[in-house]
């Protein structure tokens, strides 16, 4: 099918009074193919259908149209098939600015609606609705009339590095609009200095089952209005992620976060109750997001709110549990040289466990261990061949209660450009959770570009923490060695007691502090953490888990991985 250029060299849509007449044959042919449940190539670069498309990443020029899998039913959970049109416009591998592509599509649809009105094809208010068009490229996507701050997931962007994906709700009488949209996207691709790529073969395939395809890598950031009426039950993964973080942002500044995120080991005296202003702000924000519903001034979670809560309950506890474990390890070390008044028995009891024995000169006792005491006395009777069972002072065994020590937490946050968006917001939320989960002082150190600084000094003031971490912005490179060095210097300067360093990062360092090798520099600083016997843990994201594990090992600490799955093949 051959289509007509609708834009000039400046990407401005051209008005052509003969446009509809010229398009009639192409649109009729396209309608016939669509009505047969098939897909087709339009021009050289575009595949169009109402079905799912797949391709082999090794042979992207060959595209399969899965005739039995309606894109609206599969991706948008619509009841009726044949509502959503699916366009994939292919180009050489590279990044197409999704903001530019969306702007071009909006302009093209506007001109199309003007043409419809001029030719009295439809009423002025019955044209194509731009709110019902979604776009995705290698840089992001979303609804073309929305913020376009979606589609940032690594696997999703990578899957669209060679084509622009467009879905739109359209009645067949407006099928001509598809051609406008295609040309708008093609001009955006060319404006990004990328070449269009021809599809050598479009194959219509029957018998494919949607159960064979894992769509988890594609179920990401979406503000789409194409969802069916039952979509509330299948809210997109990213929307739960995004609104879940929003919910945490407005709630976790109060005591409610502890109840919302699950029970935490905290001290009520160390957190401040929410003021009336904060409570009103939180309520207004949650109502606007559709998370809570107000009925006679009484708030309750909406269906969407319950799903957001479920998201937090599902994905946060693992990280929270890891942090609690690390904090406990720092508070209750395995040994406290110079403070331990107990002796380890060289012999084992019947249960095969070492027992702790207080000397008769000691005057500190825990709870009496009956079974261990009886076992010790019985063993003595057998070994000494006594005829009578008796318990002497030296047989007594007590539970040793380890002393809880104060720690001071230093949270080190990577604020490089790769942490922008949901990741940096999640880091802030985690900082608040950590603060509310412990009675110990906490500080926040941030690093990005070519600097590292103390964002929040050691404090137990919740309002101070909330106010100062909100100013953290993600941008620039990753000077990890600089961040670790700043952390150690601050700990030494403040003479912090039993410091615990928690590093939040998503990648390898890109800027050195000692040499021109940023990776080695960070490992060298990590050795100092181990040498000083500071507690350390790293919470890291793919794809650099191996390096972060090595970093944690060199620092003598622990590592927790937050996975990000990557799948290929759908488009």
pTM over 0.95: no
Beta-carbon contacts of 478 under 8 Å, excluding residues fewer than 6 positions away, are 414, 416, 418, 447, 448, 505, 507, 508, 509, 510, 511, 518
Q: What is the pairing mode between strands 298-301 and 292-295?
A: antiparallel
* Statement: residue 239 has pLDDT above 70: no
Beta-carbon contacts of 547 under 8 Å, excluding residues fewer than 6 positions away, are 508, 519
CA–CA distance, 427 with 423 (Å, rounded to integer) = 6
Determine contact, residues 105/184, Cβ cutoff 8 Å: yes
Structure tokens at 299: 């708030």
List, for residues 283-320, the tens digit of each pLDDT value. Answer: 565 665 556 666 665 666 666 566 556 655 555 666 66
User: pLDDT grade, residue 107 (50/70/90)?
Assistant: very high
- Cα angle 481, 482, 485; round to 5: 85
Per-residue pLDDT, averaged over 482-493, amounts to 95
Determine contact, residues 482/509, Cβ cutoff 8 Å: no
Determine contact, residues 348/354, Cβ cutoff 8 Å: yes
* Statement: residue 236 has pLDDT above 50: no
Structure tokens at 324: 């609690």
User: pLDDT grade, residue 253 (50/70/90)?
Assistant: very low
List, for residues 379-421, the tens digit of each pLDDT value. Answer: 888 888 888 888 888 888 877 666 667 899 999 999 988 888 7
- For residue 161, give the H/E element and its range: none
Beta-carbon contacts of 433 under 8 Å, excluding residues fewer than 6 positions away, are 248, 252, 257, 261, 264, 316, 320, 323
Which pLDDT does position 9 carry in this prediction? 54
The number of beta carbons lying within 10 Å of the beta carbon of residue 173 is 13
Identify any residues that bridge with 559 across adjacent strands, giving them in sequence order: 538
Q: In what order do the strands lie in the sheet with 451-459?
A: 451-459, 441-448, 408-414, 499-505, 535-541, 558-562
Per-residue pLDDT, averaged over 115-130, amounts to 71
Which pLDDT does position 303 carry in this prediction? 63
Q: Is 208 exposed, middle or buried (0-12, 13-18, 19+ CB in 10 A)?
A: middle
Of 83, 108, 123, 110, give the one whose Cα is nearest residue 225: 83
Q: What is the pairing mode between strands 141-143 and 292-295?
A: unpaired
Give the CA count within 13 Å in the CB-facing half-sphere of 372: 19
Structure tokens at 83: 């509502």
Of 175, 99, 187, 181, give the one whose Cα is nearest residue 144: 99
User: pLDDT grade, residue 218 (50/70/90)?
Assistant: low
Which pLDDT does position 97 carry in this prediction? 95
* Statement: residue 512 has pLDDT above 90: no
What CATH architecture is 408-562?
3-Layer(aba) Sandwich (3.40)
**Stated length of the chain:** 571
List, for residues 435-482, the tens digit of each pLDDT value. Answer: 877 888 999 999 998 899 999 999 999 889 988 998 899 888 889 999
* Statement: residue 71 has pLDDT above 60: yes
**The dihedral sign for the CA sequence 275, 279, 314, 443:** negative
For the chain, give the mean pLDDT.
76
Q: Convert 451-481 to b/e letters by CB count within 10 Å (16 or more is b).
A: ebebbbebebebeebbebbeebebebbbbbb
CA–CA distance, 453 with 436 (Å, rounded to integer) = 23
Q: What is the DSSP string of 38-79?
A: --EEETTTEEEESEEEEEETTEEEEEEEEEEEEHHHHHH--S
Structure tokens at 144: 């073309």
Distances (CA, A) of 290 to 239, 246, 296, 302, 343: 12, 11, 16, 7, 61
Domain edges within the chain: 19-234, 237-316, 343-395, 408-562
Determine contact, residues 459/440, Cβ cutoff 8 Å: no
3-state secondary structure 76-104: HCCCCCCCEEEEEEEECCCCCCHHHHHHH
- Residue keyed to tokens 């318990």: 391
CA–CA distance, 124 with 113 (Å, rounded to integer) = 8
User: pLDDT grade, residue 354 (50/70/90)?
Assistant: very low
CA–CA distance, 314 with 428 (Å, rounded to integer) = 19
Q: At what angle do helices 19-35 and 176-191 cross, to 10 degrees?
A: 100
Residue 286, Cα to own-chain centre: how many angstroms? 20
List, for residues 128-147, the tens digit of each pLDDT value. Answer: 999 999 999 999 999 999 88
Structure tokens at 251: 């709630």
H helices, E strands: number in the chain:
15, 19
Structure tokens at 272: 């401040």
Which pLDDT does position 124 carry in this prediction? 47
Which pLDDT does position 534 carry in this prediction? 94
- Cα angle 442, 448, 454; round to 5: 30
CA–CA distance, 498 with 491 (Å, rounded to integer) = 10
434 three-state secondary structure: helix
Determine contact, residues 389/381, Cβ cutoff 8 Å: yes
Highest mean pLDDT among 7-21, 269-283, 517-531: 517-531
């Amino acid at each position: 099918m051959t289509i007509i250029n609708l834009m000039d060299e400046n990407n401005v849509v051209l008005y052509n009074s003969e446009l509809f007449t010229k398009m009639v044959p192409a649109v009729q042919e396209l309608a016939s193919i669509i009505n047969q449940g098939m897909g087709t190539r339009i021009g050289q670069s575009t595949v169009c259908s109402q079905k799912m498309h797949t391709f082999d990443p090794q042979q992207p020029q060959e595209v399969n149209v899965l005739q039995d899998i309606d894109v609206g039913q599969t991706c948008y959970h619509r009841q009726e098939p044949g509502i959503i049109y699916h366009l994939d416009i292919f180009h050489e591998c590279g990044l197409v600015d999704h903001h530019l592509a969306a702007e071009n599509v909006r302009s093209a649809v506007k001109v199309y609606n003007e043409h419809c009105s001029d030719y009295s094809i439809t009423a002025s208010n019955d044209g194509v609705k731009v709110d019902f068009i979604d776009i995705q490229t290698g840089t992001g996507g979303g609804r073309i009339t929305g913020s376009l701050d979606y589609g940032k997931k690594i696997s999703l962007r990578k899957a669209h590095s060679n084509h622009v994906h467009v879905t739109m709700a359209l009645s067949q009488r407006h099928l001509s609009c598809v051609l406008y949209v295609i040309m708008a996207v093609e001009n955006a691709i060319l404006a990004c200095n990328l070449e269009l790529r021809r599809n050598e073969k479009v194959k219509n395939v029957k018998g494919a089952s949607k159960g064979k395809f894992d769509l988890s890598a594609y179920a990401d950031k979406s503000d789409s209005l194409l969802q069916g009426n039952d979509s509330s039950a299948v809210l997109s993964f990213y929307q739960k992620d995004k609104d879940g973080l929003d919910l945490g942002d407005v709630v976790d500044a109060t005591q409610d976060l502890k109840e919302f995120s699950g029970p935490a080991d905290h001290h009520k005296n160390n957190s401040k109750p929410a003021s009336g202003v904060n409570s009103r702000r939180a309520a207004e924000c949650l109502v606007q997001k559709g998370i809570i519903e107000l009925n006679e001034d009484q708030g309750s979670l909406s269906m969407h709110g319950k799903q957001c809560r479920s998201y937090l309950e599902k994905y946060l506890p693992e990280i929270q549990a890891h942090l609690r474990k690390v904090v406990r390890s720092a508070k209750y070390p395995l040994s406290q040289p110079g403070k331990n008044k107990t002796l380890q028995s060289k012999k084992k009891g019947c249960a095969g466990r070492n027992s702790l024995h207080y000397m008769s000169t000691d005057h500190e006792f825990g709870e009496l261990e009956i079974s261990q005491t009886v076992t010790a006395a019985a063993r003595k009777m057998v070994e000494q061949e006594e005829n009578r069972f008796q318990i002497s002072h030296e047989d007594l065994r007590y539970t040793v209660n380890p002393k809880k020590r104060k720690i001071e937490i230093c949270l080190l946050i990577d604020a490089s450009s790769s942490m922008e968006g949901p990741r940096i917001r999640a880091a802030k939320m985690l900082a608040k959770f950590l603060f509310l989960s412990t009675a110990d002082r906490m500080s926040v150190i941030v690093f990005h570009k070519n600097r590292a600084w103390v964002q929040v000094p050691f404090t137990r003031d919740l309002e101070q923490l909330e106010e100062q971490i909100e100013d953290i912005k993600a941008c620039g490179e990753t000077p990890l060695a600089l961040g670790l060095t700043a952390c150690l210097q601050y700990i030494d300067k403040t003479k912090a007691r039993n410091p615990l360093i928690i590093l939040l990062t998503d990648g390898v360092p890109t800027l050195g502090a000692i040499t021109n090798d940023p990776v080695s520099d960070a490992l060298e600083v990590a050795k100092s953490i181990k040498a000083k016997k500071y507690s350390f843990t790293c919470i890291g994201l793919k794809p650099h888990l191996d390096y972060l594990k090595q970093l944690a090992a060199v620092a003598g600490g622990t590592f927790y991985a937050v996975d990000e799955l990557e799948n290929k093949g759908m488009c």
